[in-house]
Structures are given as structure tokens and as C-alpha cells.
Amino acid sequence: MCGSELHTLPEGVQRVARALQDANHPHAPVMLDGAARTAQEAADGLGVQLGQIAKSVIFKRKEDGVAVLVVTSGDRRVDEKKVSALVGKIGRADADFVKAQTGFTIGGVSPVAHLNPPITLLDQDLWRFALIWAAAGHPHGVFCLQPEDLKRLTGASVADVAQALTTEVSEENR
């Protein structure tokens, strides 16, 4: 990407593209035809497994109002108790808070290029995959990376922040 093609992209995607370029990341953002507001939409649009989508979830730390970004696999749910144990009590963040803190709208929150750098945690389950896809600052924008790239780009800690998977065994299968 030489820079001129950035001008046709939405502002948030341009910001992400510049951050990736500055970090010498090998993959530029791509725009999908359909929306990728949810992990399932992104996986369907890319033809990848749901778990390969690195979904960004923003919380608000209660003690000081700082944004907390948790990046987890699309097939996992964030365990708020585990996150709170690591960063302090958190609460849900509304759309206005997310936009003001990150510069992105919900459904397009990238793990990089935030207006105000959040506290960031990466879920260890992302390392199940060689390649993952993250939002690129717009509901149609995504970029490809490896989990180690995500760690390098964000400077974040890797932790167990997903809910435990439960498998129910029926009586006849015991």
C-alpha cells in the first residue's frame, strides 16, 4: 500500500491502515462486500471459522472510566469476572463511550489505532489458530494477522479471559 489508495477508505480504516503500515504489518485492511458487525458475519464473509475472528469488546473500568479492550475469539464470550480480577471492576460501555474512546463505532472496533489507548487484554484462545482476522475500524473492514502479530501490535498481555466452555452430556451418552 503506497498511501494514495487510503483516501478511498473510511476514516477509521485509514487510521488502522496507517498504524499497520507504520508497524510494517504485511497485511493491509480489506473491505468486505457485506457487513462484519458481528463475529459470525465476519466469519461468513471471509469463509473462515468463527474462532478465527478476533472480536474486540470494550468495557469501562468503574474506578476511573478508562476503556478496557478485550480481544477474544469469535466463538468465545468474555468472562467479565476474569477481566475484573486483572484490571479492576468493569462495566458495560455504551456506543457513545466506545466511539469517544476508540474513534470507532461498535461493530468496527479495531484492536489498533485507538484515539485513546485502552488497557488491552488478549484471550489465550486466539492462539488456537495460525491466522486470525480483526476489525479494521469500520463494520466492513477487516485485516489478517497472526496472534503473535496482535500481541506485538497492541503490546497487550495474554490471559485467560473467556468463559469456560461447557459441554452438557445427556444421560444416554454417559
Q: What is the pLDDT of residue 37?
A: 84
pTM: 0.89
Q: What angle do CA 24, 25, 31 make, to 5 degrees?
A: 130
The 8-class DSSP code of residue 140 comes to: T
Q: What is the pLDDT of residue 165?
A: 73
H/E stretch holding 61: strand 53-61
75: left (phi over 0), alpha (psi -120 to 50) or beta: alpha
Q: What is the pLDDT of residue 36?
A: 85
- For residue 3 the three cell numbers come to 498511501
H/E stretch holding 135: strand 132-135
**pLDDT tens for the 174 residues of the chain, in order:** 444 455 588 999 999 999 999 999 999 999 999 888 889 999 999 999 999 999 999 999 999 999 999 999 999 999 999 999 999 999 999 999 999 999 999 999 999 999 999 999 999 999 999 999 999 999 999 999 999 999 999 999 999 999 987 644 334 433
Q: What is the pLDDT of residue 22?
A: 97
Q: What is the pLDDT of residue 7?
A: 55
Q: Which residues pair with 139 in a beta bridge?
A: none
Q: What is the pLDDT of residue 172?
A: 42
Cβ neighbours of 13 (radius 10 Å): 27
Domain annotation for the chain: domains and CATH numbers:
4-162 (3.90.960.10)
